[in-house]
Amino acid sequence: MVKPLFNAEDDEWVTMVGRYVLNMGALEAATRLLIVAIDGTDATPIFSGSLSSRIGFLRKRFPRADQMRHKWAMNTFMVAERHAAFRNVVCHSPLAVTGRSDGTFHINGILNLQPCDPQNVAELVTLEELKGRVNESAAASRSLLEMQDDFGKLGG
């Protein structure tokens, strides 16, 4: 039998990372749905582009007729873009752990080796920060899905 690497006390990390990754999958899907609403096909090169490039594509094409709706959409795109970068931190960064004498570990955080700090000092993503990002990414995904009618009017 394989001994678990982490203890039950770290289950909340497992849940939050899983929820975040699933939310980002929904965000990825929403951008592709919107591209199809604009272009009428999934055969355009942007459809398989990076998440950041798809967000930029959508941002440039969001209808400007309703200024309040446009402002709301630009905020959503800004949040989605931040999550495109943060997702890479969650998925590709090492964990900061404390080892125990019984061979198990406790998660202290996710080590962000690419912080915004000009001194390039690593930052620790805490469980509380991750919880906030989970909620924010879910809201951004829902907002993108709510844009289907906006882009559907453009229809390809």
CB 108 within 8 A of CB 121: no
CB 149 within 8 A of CB 33: no
Note the pLDDT tens digit of each residue in 104-141. Answer: 888 999 999 876 656 666 789 999 999 999 999 999 99
Q: Where are the domains of the chain?
A: 8-86+128-152
CA distance 66 to 24: 28
The residue among 118, 51, 39, 124 whose CA lies nearest residue 81 is 51
CB 22 within 8 A of CB 122: no
Note the pLDDT tens digit of each residue in 6-59. Answer: 778 889 999 999 999 999 999 999 999 999 999 999 999 999 999 999 999 999
User: What residues contact 67, with CB distance under 8 A and at least 6 apart?
Assistant: none
Identity of the residue numbered 43: A
User: What residues contact 55, with CB distance under 8 A and at least 6 apart?
Assistant: 31, 77, 80, 81, 84
pLDDT at 17: 96
CA distance 52 to 50: 5
The residue among 119, 129, 144 whose CA lies nearest residue 25 is 144
Note the pLDDT tens digit of each residue in 47-94. Answer: 999 999 999 999 999 999 999 999 999 999 999 999 999 999 999 999
